[in-house]
Structure 1
Amino acid sequence: RDVEVYIKHRGNGPGGIAGTVHTLPHHPFDVVGWDGCLYPYVFSIHDFEPLTGRVHQPPPAHQVFEGDNFVICNFVPRKVDYHPLAIPVPYYHSNVDSDEVMFYCGGDYEARKGSGIGQGSISLHPGGHPHGPQPGAYERAIGAEFFDELAVMVDTFRPLELGEAARDCDDGVYAYSWAKGGKEAGK
């Protein structure tokens, strides 16, 4: 039977939101098998193609999804900045309006080499806390043409609170990984 699907999109209505009702002859999830993806329910990070440029592109160039009070960015293997004087690792910054969570799921995240961050690691940079590449990362990155890294970043526009499980797996020294001597400086 006919099924109404409500589609929300930008418009001139209140809050810049409008909607369209699309009627399908059957329910869109009434399938036995599916060849493809039901966006935004499934999206392989391996299908993401980031913007690249002559100089370092800020995180919105890596943005995949946006929701109410959060964004998701994918950092994937890619050609990096191609200006001869470009430094392709990110610059030091403070997210004054968001908490940043990074999940390092593949490759070797170029900006954090030497920090103890490896595949399977998760880092949290609360709003206002400065962070950026490891000491020496700028110098090592000059002349690089390709980064083989895979990470997912979630920026939340409301403060995060750490649960018991997150506190239990904190290594206690990550905050010192930018100091001379890296993680060992925090011990």
Structure 2
Amino acid sequence: MTALTYQSGFGNSFSTEALAGALPQARNSPQKCPYGLYAEQLSGTAFTLSRDENKRSWLYRIRPAALQPAFTPSNVAPLWTHEFGRGPVSPNRFRWNPLPIPEFASIDFIQGMQTWAGNGHCDDHSGISINLYAANVSMDRRVFYNADAEMLIVPQEGRLRFLTELGILEVEPQEIIVMPRGIRFKVELMDSGARGYLLENYGRSLRLPELGPIGSNGLANARDFKTPVAWFEEKEETHELIAKFTGGFWTTTLGHSPLDVVAWHGTHAPYKYDLRNFNAIGSISYDHPDPCIFTVLTAPSEITGAANIDFAIFPPRVLAMENTFRPPWFHRNVAGEFMGLIHGLYDAKADGFIPGGSSLHNPMSPHGPDSATFSKASNADLSQVDYVRSTMAFMFESRRAIRPTSLAMQSDSLQRHYDDAWSGLQKNFVNDL
């Protein structure tokens, strides 16, 4: 496949066509669409939502999406669930090793999804689901859409090609892709295997955080987000269409590819972003900034300042603190924090947190640097600039407790002695001031 072309910008009203003249013009909208196409509107939000939140796109396609037989229940993704358990959640800290990439059975992107934690429910349009995926084959003639949630995909190993109704997006580790509700797509593996993380956002859509006193520049810049140009498949072959709806999976069979949108315009579209373009703000004079300053995308809740989900990263950067507490701080937080490591080492842990792994620290559960990191940073030369290099970690932060699933708690990848990371911390108190 030739190099792809993308449209740049975040939140724009885009317009694109795969065939010249396929996109009708507003001043002269024809009774019949060019090329014999069907017009279809895809609404990602309520019709009357405010202009800045309204998400919708007009699609001009070979066949309307309505041309489909009835769905029947499917067991295509038995480990992808919307149930996060009832009753109290343990306040313990948890950490997991990476999922293995399948070696023997053929597992695609949807089949290889495993739900690790979450909160809320898709029916309430509030909460999140955190999932891990591991796959070794492409989806071929299987197409999927999620009616429950907007999805944020974070590849950790292996490049992915997303063939969507609205065009093609290719992503590699240290890039992310956001797939809005209802968009139909399939995933091709560009390498022998793939592994990563997938967040389902049941609430309001992800958007760039306000910059406040930072001003007009910094963090993730709108120009660095990429949306696909129009592309289509005209395949008269049997395709399976999988839908995720109210937490369940449903299947139907089509006699053609549903990825047949020849032109489109609007604001409801998938996009990707390269995390290496993030403009980390610093340097720091003393203390530590809140992790909010590393927010890439946020989905607000009904409580101002308390997000349904924040997606933050910890990229390469300079820690230029002088004559101050240099180690990453110990803290307790009102939010639930689920972390993953994409690449390299995480600066708050000396070992045990490896690429593809994950950790969960729930509200008011104390955490911070392990004893080795604390000791190293406490004895660092404060006259020298401290570079954090060759790393990319991320955090899903939610205003609500994040409930690990029974699958996660029973997994062989669970590190049963994670608390030992802090066991070397000694009493250093000397009462002689």
Q: TM-score, normalised by structure 2?
A: 0.34
Q: Which moved more, 1:145-154 or 1:27-36?
A: 27-36
Q: In structure 2, the residue corresponding to 1:93 is in which secondary structure?
A: coil
The residue number in structure 2 matching 1:100 is: 337
Deviations 1:97-144 (A, max 9, x none): 211011011121121114x11222101001110001111423423345
The residue number in structure 2 matching 1:75 is: 314
Cα offset for 1:30? 7.8
Q: State the identity as a percent.
A: 20
The residue number in structure 2 matching 1:135 is: 371
Q: In structure 1, the residue corresponding to 2:376 is in which secondary structure?
A: helix
Where does the alignment leave 5 or more consecutive residues of structure 1 unmatched?
9-16, 182-187
Within 5 Å, which residues of 2 pair with 1:25-64? 27=59, 37-38=226-227, 41-54=271-284, 55=286, 56-64=288-296
What letter is aligned with 2:282? T
What letter is aligned with 1:177? A
Distance 1:21 1:70, change over 3 A: closer
Q: Which moved more, 1:158-167 or 1:57-66?
A: 158-167
Mapped contact 1:7–1:20 kept (Cα < 8 A): no
In the alignment of these two chains, the number of paired residues is: 169
Mapped contact 1:87–1:138 kept (Cα < 8 A): no
| Root-mean-square deviation (Å) | 3.4
Distance 1:20 1:135, change over 3 A: closer
Bigger Cα Rg: 2
The residue number in structure 2 matching 1:179 is: 423
Determine which of 381, 385, 405 is the counterpart of 1:163. 405
Greater share of residues in helix: 1
Determine which of 356, 359, 363 is the counterpart of 1:120. 356
Distance 1:176 1:19, change over 3 A: same
What letter is aligned with 2:293? A
Distance 1:151 1:21, change over 3 A: closer
Question: Given the alignment of the two structures, is residue 84 of structure 1 paired with residue 314 of structure 2, yes or no?
Answer: no
Determine which of 33, 51, 66 is the counterpart of 1:19. 51
Q: In structure 2, the residue corresponding to 1:72 is in which secondary structure?
A: strand
Mapped contact 1:4–1:21 kept (Cα < 8 A): no
Distance 1:93 1:34, change over 3 A: closer
**Structure 1 moving runs of 4+ over 4 Å:** 2-8, 26-36
Deviations 1:120-173 (A, max 9, x none): 210100111000111142342334521122101011112222123311131111
Q: In structure 2, the residue corresponding to 1:124 is in which secondary structure?
A: strand
Distance 1:32 1:71, change over 3 A: closer
Q: In structure 2, the residue corresponding to 1:123 is in which secondary structure?
A: strand
Deviations 1:9-47 (A, max 9, x none): xxxxxxxx842599xxx7599866689603873112111
Mapped contact 2:345–2:354 kept (Cα < 8 A): yes
Q: Which moved more, 1:103-112 or 1:29-38?
A: 29-38
Mapped contact 1:103–1:153 kept (Cα < 8 A): yes
The residue number in structure 2 matching 1:146 is: 387
Q: In structure 2, the residue corresponding to 1:46 is in which secondary structure?
A: helix
What letter is aligned with 1:145? D
Counterpart CA distance in 2 for 1:59 and 1:133 is 15
What letter is aligned with 1:76? P
Distance 1:88 1:4, change over 3 A: farther
Counterpart CA distance in 1 for 2:363 and 2:53 is 39
Q: TM-score, normalised by structure 1?
A: 0.73
What letter is aligned with 1:111? A
Where does the alignment leave 5 or more consecutive residues of structure 2 unmatched?
1-23, 27-39, 61-163, 171-224, 228-268, 302-307, 426-433
Greater share of residues in strand: 2
What letter is aligned with 1:130? P
Q: In structure 2, the residue corresponding to 1:151 is in which secondary structure?
A: strand
The residue number in structure 2 matching 1:66 is: 298
